[in-house]
Amino acid sequence: MSSGAIAKLTPEEVTFYQEKGYLLHKKPLFGPEKMSELSAIFEEQWEAVGRKLNSELDTPHFRDERLLKFLLADEVLDLVEPLIGPNIGLWSSHFICKEPFVGKQTPWHEDSAYWKGRLTRYDGIVTVWLAIDRSWQENGCMRVIPGTHTDGFSEYDSVSGNENIFDTEITKVDDSQAVYFELEQGECSLHDSRIIHGAEANKSPYRRCGYTMRYFSTEAKVIPEKNPGFKIWLARGKDIAGSSFVNG
């Protein structure tokens, strides 16, 4: 999609993101009708997998290309472009849902650690986390450790899988430094793929669902042999590094 709209982020917000590794965008990302449409697609997909969580709802746009209407939308790309530049690839998306009372803890981690070896660089990847439900500390909203986005490959220890979504966790994290991403439905956050983040368990009576939309600067190359069956789209601008895109 071509770049024509004016970016919504101020220079001060861009500087904050560069220094801290995250940004809260406390405004509706989509209009009410469009947000309702996205929420309906989530409910449909969640029902289709028997209301199972997380891994079953990874890259849902591979199965349902209606989601490209949202993933390639100017409303999203205009937030992403000031952070990673005008040449943008759609890396992935993921519905993440924590059910009331039983939603597990998400241990401290960096997204980049799970993608190690799949791209040539990780300094230009941003995740837009859109709140489909109200996301609050009470129901296990995301939290980050500001300023921990300069590397992205920390040391991990094993943790129990019964109470955690993942079976590993970053060691030596100072929880007292955590910033909680409290968002109303339709608002979003943005974070660097290397920042240390996680979420506490949802022990409340309120469901917590979000849609992660992940983008990378096409200055990074996606390595084909490390991504079998994976699909990426050219969202805006040009393919700089020579990755193989589904479109563009």
- Structural domains of the chain ordered from first start: 11-236 (2.60.120.620)
Half-sphere exposure of residue 86: CA atoms within 13 angstroms, side-chain side: 7
Divide the 248 residues of the chain into consecutive groups of 10 and give the mean pLDDT of each group. Answer: 56 97 96 97 86 71 95 97 98 91 83 92 96 96 95 78 70 92 97 94 92 97 96 97 86
Which pLDDT score, from 0 to 100, does residue 4 have?
Answer: 43
Which pLDDT score, from 0 to 100, does residue 104 have?
Answer: 80
Residues in the chain: 248
What φ, ψ does residue 203 adopt, rounded to 5°?
-105, 10
- Is residue 57 within 8 A of residue 94, CB to CB? The reply is yes
Structure tokens at 148: 């921990």
Rounded Cα gap, residues 208 and 202, in angstroms: 8
Which pLDDT score, from 0 to 100, does residue 144 have?
Answer: 97
Structure tokens at 172: 């030596």
Q: Is the pTM of this model over 0.85?
A: yes
Sign of CA dihedral 79, 96, 34, 238: positive
| β-strand partners of 58 | 94
Which pLDDT score, from 0 to 100, does residue 187 have?
Answer: 97
Rounded Cα gap, residues 45 and 101, in angstroms: 22
Which pLDDT score, from 0 to 100, does residue 6 have?
Answer: 46
End-to-end C-alpha distance for the chain, whole angstroms: 9
Structure tokens at 97: 């849902």
Rounded Cα gap, residues 21 and 34, in angstroms: 28
